[in-house]
């Protein structure tokens, strides 16, 4: 039984990109789909597909550079079920001097840290990606 499905998703992405897999399949949930769409919009993954057969799965096509280096070098879970981390809009972290991104769940939905800072909302800091 998985107690933290978001950490499981991030671990699957991290492991698949470290062994240069073309894609990764994870169990579907709405929040995982929103996180994957943010990764796709930011250019960290190539494509996100929702598959309805096999009890609903999410297929994430990973992105690699010309020298076969993964687009995602580090992906780290920040807020955990045992210790939730909340940040205000003005305290939103700037990951790697702006080269990385944070993903935050707010009252307006799941968004990147830059979007949350721009719209002036804070929330739970889910993860950081570089």
Residues 80, 124 share a domain:
yes
* Tokens linked to 59: 């297929």
Q: What is the pLDDT of residue 55?
A: 77
Q: What is the CATH number of the domain that holds 36?
A: 3.30.1370.30
Question: Is residue 91 included in any domain, yes or no?
Answer: yes
Q: Kindly report, residue by residue over 27-44, the tens digit of the pLDDT.
A: 999 999 999 999 999 999
Tell which of 13, 28, 62 closes a domain: 62
| Domain span at 96 | 75-129
Over 70: is that where the pLDDT of 50 sits?
yes
């Amino acid at each position: 039984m998985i107690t933290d499905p978001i950490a499981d998703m991030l671990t699957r992405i991290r492991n698949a990109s470290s062994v240069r897999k073309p894609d990764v399949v994870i169990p579907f949930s709405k929040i995982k789909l929103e996180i994957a769409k943010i990764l796709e919009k930011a250019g960290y993954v190539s494509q996100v597909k929702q598959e309805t057969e096999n009890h609903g799965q999410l297929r994430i096509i990973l992105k690699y550079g010309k020298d076969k280096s993964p687009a995602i070098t580090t992906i780290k879970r920040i807020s955990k079920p045992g210790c939730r981390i909340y940040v205000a809009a003005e305290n939103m972290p700037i990951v790697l001097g702006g080269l990385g991104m944070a993903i935050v769940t707010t009252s307006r939905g799941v968004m990147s840290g830059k979007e949350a800072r721009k719209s002036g909302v804070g929330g739970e800091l889910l993860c950081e990606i570089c």
